[in-house]
Structure 1
Amino acid sequence: MFVRELTLRDYRSWPSADFTLHPGTTVFVGRNGFGKTNLLESLCYVATLRSHRVSNDAPLVRTGSDTAKISATVENEGRELTVDLTIAAQGSNKAAINTRPVRRTREVLGILRTVMFAPEDLALVRGDPGERRRFVDELVAQLRPMAAGAKSDYDRVLRQRSALLKTAGAAMRRGESDSVMSTLDVWDDQLAELGAQVTASRLAVVRQLAPFVTGSYAAIAPDSRDATITYRSAAGPEVDESSGGSEAVDGIRDVLAERLTQLRTKEIERGLCLVGPHRDDLELVLGDEPAKGFASHGESWSFALSLRLASVDLLRADGVDPVIMLDDVFAELDVRRRAKLAEFTTGAEQLLVTAAVADDIPETVGGRRISVGVSEEGPRHSMVLEDEAIGAHPDEH
């Protein structure tokens, strides 16, 4: 799999960009803040319909514009598909496949598969549970595109139910208990059903991923302790022990429904939804200790790398070689980890790399070099300065 064409219009710092890409390695070189990461982020968005840097789409639209547009032509085993996405600063986004509009943007999921390595990956080990949930949800979206719809629907129901919980206490004091309880019953049924689908998909993917994580960590840090990854549900061990997948949905739904009933009084008191996949986590363990709080800086980086390397292996095991993207990550690694990462990515069908300093890139990583800069004429924006592959200085994009 590789991206052959990438076109951006009013996407972050790029008012206009047109790239023809090829299999193999392409390196984007430029100082920090010049827009290199934005290029890789746009491809992550095509693959997962979410940014790896922000939680909503508004920052993706260039200041002064109403929409941003991404067009990516993806070739996979001789089959070529073009995804066109229109991202709205406000309102709904739109999508098309080979110029044909689709009813739901999530229909484009699965056309492009990517794995991004970035300095922010350290947060997968040291950060909040939300970082780890985002990580597994991105994998689910690429491996099980249909499951992404359940996650989107779950988020909508969660917002509605949470809004009701915030006002439920006051409404009950006004004598509106019957109305509050009957409405909560409706939302509870939907939350349990959709939450079970989300959780079952996550569980299945984490169980598939786990052996790859252990193997990747052992390759990066052969003298360290064993690394393991497991799913931890806020609903309890009955869910954690489930096999995951579609056959587990009914059982997980029943557990979630029971927990929602048990916690209803406490949820109304606190005005919060206390159980569901939005409160779940991944447990990362080194030896017998949780990596968060016990792993050294080097061990944390090795674990973060192993999660990404394992993601590549999992997608490959599913039959597709994903586009691998390294966002200025070599600058964060010591010489040994740089070498390991460079060795692992040697066989990638397409490798896209960004670097602020070309010397940070190991000598074994060759390929095309594209120099990225900014224009100070008018509003500051990103532009291509030089493309070594064509030996030319193209006009401003």
Structure 2
Amino acid sequence: MFVRELALTDYRSWDRTELRLRPEPTIFVGRNGFGKTNLLESLFYLATLRSHRVSSDAPLVRSGASAATVRSTVENDGRELTVELEIAAQGANRARVNTAPVRRPREILGILRAVLFAPEDLALVRGEPGERRRFLDEIVVQSRPIAAGSRADYDRVLRQRSALLKTAGAAIRRSSAEADSVMSTLDVWDDQLAQFGAEVTADRIAVVRELAPLVAGAYASIAPHSRPAAIGYRSAAGPEVDASPGGTESVAEIRDVLAHRLREVRAKEIDRGVCLVGPHRDDLRLDLGDEPAKGFASHGESWSFALALRLACVDLLRADGVEPVIMLDDVFAELDAARREKLAAFTASAEQLLITTAVAEDIPGVLAGRRLAVGVEEADGRRRSTIVGDERVVRRGEER
């Protein structure tokens, strides 16, 4: 799989650009703030419908524009598809495949499969549970695009149920009639939350089960003298869910557990006005030896764990018969020499490798291909990113 064309309109710092790419390493070189990362982010958004840097879409739209457009032609085993996504600063996004509109943007998921390595990955180990939940959901929708529907349904129900919980306490205190109405409505939302939550959780657990040996192997390769790495799922609903094998066959069992826990904590939820049970409260457990990586891993161990998680995602997609586009966003500057070489050796065989760097010398010599220089120019008093150079590079020590 590789991206043959990428066109951006009003996407962050790029007002309008069109790039033709090839199945090879492409290195985008430019100073920090020149817009290199925006190119990779736009492709990752097509692959996951999420940015790896921000949680909302508004920052993706160039200042002064109402929407940004990302269009990409993706080639996979001789089959070519062009996907176009219009990202609105406010309101709903719209998508097209081969110029034909699709009903929902999530229908484009699966056309492009990509794994992105970025400095933000350190938060997977050292950050809050939300970072790890997002990581799981990204790889779930890439390995099983249909799962995006369950996640969207769950988010919708969670918003509605959370809004009800915020007002439930006051309504119950006002009258018995209002109390009956609140409880009846909560019953409906509880049933839906348990069902969609079980689907989301089962998908996540199935992916964790597949990733676990891949993460352990990748970590041992990157940090052979460190403690062994392990991952597992931690559900707010309790260990019965954690022990589930995941997948479709586990949905009913997980649903029953979630429904039971929702009944147990209902009074507490009404008192606090928040939803306390569900996949929005879960976490991905990361362990080094007998200790949690967060708080106990050194800086080098944390980076090794973060790299192992991303390398495992590549292996997971490859095992599914997909060669993902691999994107490295200025990560070589964050790594020591040994980790740079390990990452370069692993990614050198990718069908398409897209790399950003501020310093070309940070890229290991084994990675050769095309180098595009990214700069900025002023127009009408505004800065915009642009490609200012294009050259071929060879492995160090080889003749041009």
Shared fold, TM over 0.5: yes
Deviation per CA, 1:9-68: give whole Å up to 9, x if none: 001110001000000100000011100000000000000011111111111111111111
Shift of 1:377: 2.7
Shift of 1:346: 1.0
- 1:241 is matched by which residue type in structure 2? A
| 2:145 is the counterpart of 1:142 | no
Percent of aligned positions with the same letter in both sequences?
73
Distance 2:236 2:269 in 1: 14
Deviation per CA, 1:287-346: give whole Å up to 9, x if none: 111000001111001000000001100000010010000000000000000010001011
Runs (4+) off by over 6 Å: none
| 2:79 is the counterpart of 1:79 | yes
Shift of 1:362: 1.2
Matches within 5 A, 1:230-249: 230-249=232-251
- What's the counterpart of residue 106 of structure 2? 106
Distance 1:227 1:30 in 2: 35
Distance 1:389 1:95 in 2: 34
Distance 1:90 1:119 in 2: 28
Q: 2:391 aligns with which of 370, 388, 391?
A: 388
Q: Which moved more, 1:368-377 or 1:328-337?
A: 368-377
Distance 1:61 1:170 in 2: 40
- What's the counterpart of residue 60 of structure 1? 60
SS of the equivalent of 2:185 reads helix
- What's the counterpart of residue 272 of structure 2? 270
Matched positions, count? 390
Q: 2:368 aligns with which of 361, 366, 369?
A: 366
- What's the counterpart of residue 47 of structure 2? 47
SS of the equivalent of 1:376 reads strand
Shift of 1:389: 4.5
Deviation per CA, 1:221-247: give whole Å up to 9, x if none: 111111000000000011011110001
Matches within 5 A, 1:2-17: 2-17=2-17
| 2:207 is the counterpart of 1:205 | yes
- 1:136 is matched by which residue type in structure 2? L
Q: 1:194 aligns with which of 174, 193, 196?
A: 196
- 2:383 is matched by which residue type in structure 1? R
Which consecutive unaligned segments of at least 5 residues does structure 2 have? 394-400
| 2:29 is the counterpart of 1:35 | no
Matches within 5 A, 1:148-187: 148-175=148-175, 176-187=178-189
Distance 2:30 2:188 in 1: 53
- What's the counterpart of residue 297 of structure 2? 295
- What's the counterpart of residue 357 of structure 2? 355
Shift of 1:95: 0.7
Deviation per CA, 1:51-101: give whole Å up to 9, x if none: 111111111111111111010100001000111101111111111111111
- What's the counterpart of residue 25 of structure 1? 25
- What's the counterpart of residue 325 of structure 2? 323
| 2:158 is the counterpart of 1:120 | no
Q: 2:221 aligns with which of 216, 219, 222?
A: 219
- 1:380 is matched by which residue type in structure 2? R
- What's the counterpart of residue 396 of structure 2? none
Shift of 1:104: 1.1
- What's the counterpart of residue 257 of structure 2? 255
Shift of 1:202: 0.3
Which consecutive unaligned segments of at least 5 residues does structure 1 have? 391-397
- 1:368 is matched by which residue type in structure 2? R
